[in-house]
Amino acid sequence: MADKDEMLQIDLCDGQVRVMLCETTDTVQRCADIHGCTPVCTAALGRLITGTAMLGIMMKGEKENVTVTIKGDGPMGTLVAVADHGKIRACADDPKVELPLREDGKLDVGSAVGHHGRLIVIKDLNLKENYIGQSELVSGEIAMDFAQYFTVSEQQPSLVALGVLVSGETVLKAGGLLIQPLPGCPDEIIDQLELRSPMFADISREMTFAPIEQLCEDWFRGMNPKILERTPVSYTCSCSRERMERALISLGRKELTALIEEDQGAELVCHFCHNKYFFTTEQLCELLKEAQRE
């Protein structure tokens, strides 16, 4: 089945508010399948993927990409997602964490990620230095943590909703919404959006009733919503044998020599897609020659 996930870039009130609304169901399912995630980890990584996709699609340059890392004090350890425009990949130290449901019956994403820590955004803009922004975690529930990042680090007040509806190993629906009033946006419009915010709080459940285009019409009625752009979103890894060769070369002479002396070759596994790359001792010797040239 072809991926049908996509991001809608929407304009409200004749350019006074920027909105991103996306479905990421297939993308999150792929992530859960690759990593064998438990439901709470599917929800955590799924929310991270969805938030990172929004940042990825904001990037304008062709070779630019964005990495979002969440370093929380929860049992999942560090979570990482990389977005190359609409192509996303993600992983976590431990994607198999199991936790009891919260009292309200929801998955306890905050406890899996941790309630304390940092959200770090690195934008590779193809310049000499990367842009790095970060903020403290608010709750570990991820949507509020992204909102905090936009407000504190990018000085852009934002309303963020991220949702993943999971049943066992199946992702029923996943998606997200970002609302950013642009400079000069009148208070009445901001008040209107805040009044409506309970409508999008449980976004993945809303998505089981209607496609995102319909939700956009319903939620922003009277605010002249206009879809400006649609971008496909998918779980896509960019690893390759060349990249793995470069990773081996960057280990340095000492490490490479040690691998060659063991004479068992080397197997590298991509963290994001679990593709395996095998190098024979002979091939490692070739890489050692290159390492010596550098």
Please give the residue ranges that form the binding site for Zn ion (CB under 5 A).
Answer: 237, 239, 270, 272-273, 275
Classify the phi-psi angles of 3: left when phi > 0, otherwise alpha if psi is within -120 to 50, otherwise beta: beta
User: CB of 238: closest distance to Zn ion in angstroms?
Assistant: 7
Cβ 65 to Zn ion, closest distance in Å? 14
Question: Do 142 and 81 meet the contact criterion of CB atoms below 8 Å apart?
Answer: no
**Least distance from Zn ion to the Cβ atom of residue 224, Å:** 42
C-alpha to C-alpha distance for 148 and 264, rounded to whole angstroms: 48
User: Cβ of residue 67: shortest distance to Zn ion, in angstroms?
Assistant: 14
Contact between 3 and 211 (Cβ < 8 Å): no
Structure token digits, residue 290:
């290159």
> Cα separation of 109 and 120, whole Å?
18
Taking the least distance from each CB to Zn ion, the nearer of 3 and 218 is 3
Reported as type and span, the H/E element at residue 18 is strand 17-23
Among 25, 87, 14, 24, residue whose Cα is nearest residue 57: 87
**Comparison of 43 and 237: residue with beta carbon closer to Zn ion:** 237
- Provide the minimum distance between the beta carbon of 35 and Zn ion in the complex, in angstroms, as a whole number: 12
For Zn ion, the closer CB: 87 or 173? 87
The residue among 18 and 30 lying less far from Zn ion, judged by its C-beta, is 30
Pairing of strands 87-92, 234-235: parallel
Question: Please, are residues 112 and 99 in contact by the beta-carbon 8 Å criterion?
Answer: yes
Q: Which is nearer to Zn ion, 146 or 272 (CB)?
A: 272
Q: Is residue 26 within 8 Å of residue 257, measured between CB atoms?
A: no
**Identity of the residue, 127 or 269, whose beta carbon is nearer to Zn ion in the bound complex:** 269
- The minimum distance between CB 247 and Zn ion, in angstroms, equals 12
